[in-house]
Structure 1
Amino acid sequence: MNKLPVILIVDDDAMNLTMAKSILEMKVRAEILTTESGSGCLDILQKRQGAIDLILLDIAMPGMDGLQTLATIRKNLRYQDLKVIFLTAAADKNTIIKASQLKIADYVKKPFVPEDLIARVEKQIFPPIEDPEINDIFKSLDNLGL
């Protein structure tokens, strides 16, 4: 049996958390976990021993914000390549620069459009196949109209 990818949503706004979880549960085959704080995110990472495939992380949270949370995550070599998408209403230049320095995979501007959220999540969890042989097969099938 194939293991489902695990997505962790971190947002202090209960409405955003519920919406994101509901949208993803309907459209993406994955296990969805949630927490309302940066410290909760770190606790889940520790409890799951890093078995998280993608984090959707709000930037503006009380206490430990998303940038601080991700900086803490990146200090652990085990999580250097963990995929993180920022959920943010703050898309100002300085925030984007700080986020890119922490190696984010993408960001979704809030309020998010469900189709955009789904597409960005799927792109990270199910990246396109980069195998030339497989791409040739798909091209042949396209040429045959299949």
Structure 2
Amino acid sequence: MSKLPVILVVDDDDMNIAMAKSILEMKVRAEILTTTSGAGCLDILQKRQGAIDLILLDIAMPGMDGLQTLSVIRKNPDYADMKVIFLTAAADKDTIVKASQLKISDYVKKPFIPDDLINRVEKHLYPPIEDQEVNNIFKALDSLGL
């Protein structure tokens, strides 16, 4: 049996964490970890030796904000390609430019729309298969109702 993907939710607002965790646990087969700070995010990454498949990272947090946290993450070559989705209530142009320079995978506007959060998370956890032969097999199975 394969292990579940691991999602780390980082937000300083306990309500946002509870909401994201609840939405994800209902619809996405994954292990969900949470923390309320950028420092906590870095600590979890270190303890798990980077074994995180996706980080949902709030931008606006006291102390180390999401941009600063991601900047530290990207400085580690082992985490250079780690998938990160920013969580944001309002993203101004300057923030979007800075985020894109740090190679974010996506962003989700707060308050969360459950289907939007699920779709964006699944898109990055389970990217489409590019092999046409494999896609044809899936299409055949779908047509058989399997």
Q: TM-score range by the shorter chain?
A: over 0.9
Structure 1 residues 50-79: Cα deviation after superposition (integer angstroms, max 9, x where no partner):
000000000000000000000000000000
1:76 and 2:76 equivalent?
A: yes
Give % identity. Answer: 80
Number of the residue aligned with 1:102: 102
Q: Look up the match of 1:4.
A: 4
1:134 is the counterpart of 2:134: yes
Shift in Å at residue 93 of structure 1? 1.1
- How much does 1:140 deviate? 4.4
Q: Distance in 2 between matches of 1:62 and 1:77?
A: 26
Q: Unaligned 5+ residue runs, structure 1?
A: none
Give how far 1:90 is off.
2.2
Q: Any idea what SS the aligned residue of 2:71 has? A: helix
Q: Which runs of 4+ in 1 moved over 3 A?
A: 138-142
Q: Secondary structure at the match of 1:136?
A: helix
Counterpart in the other structure of 2:58: 58
Letter in 1 for 2:64: M
- Which amino acid is the alignment partner of residue 22 of structure 2? S
Cα deviation code 1:1-22 (max 9, x no counterpart): 2100000000000100110001
Give the deviation of 1:135 after TM superposition.
Answer: 1.8
Mapped to 1, the partners of 2:139 and 2:94 lie a distance apart of 42
> 2: distance between equivalents of 1:141 and 1:35?
40
Determine helix, strand or coil for the equivalent of 1:74: helix
- Give the AA of the match of 1:30: A
CA distance in structure 2 between the partners assigned to 1:118 and 1:27 by the alignment: 7
Alpha-carbon RMSD across the aligned residues, in angstroms, is: 1.2
**Which stretch shows the higher mean deviation, 79-88 or 128-137?**
128-137
1:85: how far off? 0.2
What's the TM-score, normalizing by structure 2? 0.95
Aligned residue-pair number: 145
Query: What's 2:46 paired with?
Result: 46
Give the AA of the match of 2:136.
D
Q: After superposition, give the CA deviation of every residue in 1:72-98 in whole Å (9 maximum; x if it has no partner).
A: 000000000000000001221111111
Deviation at 1:137, TM superposition (A): 2.6
- Could you say which residue in structure 1 is the equivalent of 2:115? 115
